[in-house]
């Protein structure tokens, strides 16, 4: 999306983007370019966990055949420990299995090899579908730096295929009280029409931020089916669910949900750098 040439398809729509900093700004900027009024309000913050287990794993990186990476945060935490240990050479020979274009871009930014596996379906189930078709998974050893409390679909599915998985929690999403207070004030004053949520943790923080009566009437725009399911369970009306689990697909889905007849405009969103 270049310049300001697109029509203001979302003029008058007031949206809260709940991703933080560099993760939320590309989405916010893209929505502004099609006319939306956007409030950037992070509802969660990333907290680093004790990294001793990851340091121990990186110290024996050569023992792993694969490294599984499903988020930019996982990439950044791994990159930090790889740099500490001077393990860049070992990283260069590991096969990478990556979920999501932003995660792949983060790997590339650190100069790591191109992913051996990057499924079109950017979620754990898509990864398993691709891995199940390969002949080098049974008996393989894999390192999986992940968020605390991450779904066990991927490691359990790979274990069923014969792989040995070391799951190492390296970060967690924690509520951002300041962001929650800002969102609560906007909702109370009737200044929001839509809230974007990118993960179940964001749904939890949204629910925590709002009085119960708002949960049932504040529409949300979700990226991916897991987040949409969490939003429905929490009682939020899901205005739209992006079936393409990418930033660009998310923007297109939002525009398509609100644009007048005639179709959504083309949208290009640069992937976040971190």
pLDDT in tens, 186-227: 998 999 999 999 888 888 889 998 887 777 889 999 988 888
pLDDT of residue 6: 58
Q: Any idea which of 50-54, 121-125, 166-170, 193-197 has the lowest mean pLDDT?
A: 121-125
Strands 164-175 and 44-48: what pairing? antiparallel
Q: Domains along the chain?
A: 14-43+176-258 (3.40.50.10090), 47-173 (3.40.50.10090)
Q: pLDDT tens across 3-52, in order?
A: 444 578 888 899 999 876 556 578 888 899 888 999 999 888 889 999 99
| pLDDT, average across residues 58-68 | 96
Residue 267 has pLDDT above 70, yes or no: no
pLDDT of residue 40: 93
Quote the mean pLDDT of the chain: 87
Residue 166 to residue 235: CA distance in whole angstroms:
35
Band (101; pLDDT cuts 50, 70, 90): confident
Residue 264 has pLDDT above 60, yes or no: no
| pLDDT, average across residues 173-182 | 89
Band (261; pLDDT cuts 50, 70, 90): low
Q: Any idea which of 113-117, 227-231, 270-274 has the lowest mean pLDDT?
A: 270-274
Six-digit token pair at 224? Answer: 């991916």
Q: Any idea which of 80-94, 101-115, 227-241, 255-269 has the lowest mean pLDDT?
A: 255-269
| pLDDT, average across residues 121-128 | 83
| pLDDT, average across residues 265-271 | 48
Band (262; pLDDT cuts 50, 70, 90): low
Q: What is the pTM of this model?
A: 0.75
Band (274; pLDDT cuts 50, 70, 90): very low
Residue 265 has pLDDT above 60, yes or no: no
pLDDT of residue 22: 56
């Amino acid at each position: 999306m270049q310049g300001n040439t697109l029509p203001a398809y979302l003029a008058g729509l007031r949206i809260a983007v709940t991703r933080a900093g560099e993760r939320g700004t590309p989405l916010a900027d893209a929505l502004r370019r099609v006319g939306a009024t956007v409030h950037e309000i992070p509802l969660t913050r990333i907290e680093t966990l004790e990294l001793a287990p990851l340091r121990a794993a990186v110290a024996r990186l050569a023992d792993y055949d694969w490294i599984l990476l499903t988020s930019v945060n996982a990439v950044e935490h791994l990159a930090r420990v790889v740099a500490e240990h001077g393990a860049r050479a070992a990283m260069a020979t590991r096969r990478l299995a990556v979920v999501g274009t932003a995660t792949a871009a983060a790997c590339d930014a650190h100069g790591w090899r191109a992913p051996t596996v990057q499924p079109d379906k950017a979620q754990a189930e898509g990864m398993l579908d691709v891995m199940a078709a390969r002949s080098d998974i049974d008996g393989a050893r894999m390192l999986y730096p992940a968020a605390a409390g991450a779904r066990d679909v991927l490691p359990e599915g790979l274990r069923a295929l014969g792989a040995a998985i070391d799951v190492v929690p390296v970060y967690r999403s924690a509520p951002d009280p300041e962001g929650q207070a800002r969102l609560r004030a906007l909702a109370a004053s009737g200044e929001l029409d839509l809230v974007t949520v990118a993960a179940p943790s964001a749904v939890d923080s949204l629910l925590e931020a709002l009085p119960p009566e708002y949960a049932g009437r504040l529409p949300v725009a979700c990226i991916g089916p897991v987040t949409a399911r969490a939003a429905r369970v929490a009682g939020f009306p899901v205005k739209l669910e992006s079936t393409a689990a990418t930033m660009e697909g998310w923007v297109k889905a939002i525009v398509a949900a609100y644009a007048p007849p005639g179709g959504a405009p083309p949208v290009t969103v640069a992937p976040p750098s971190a």
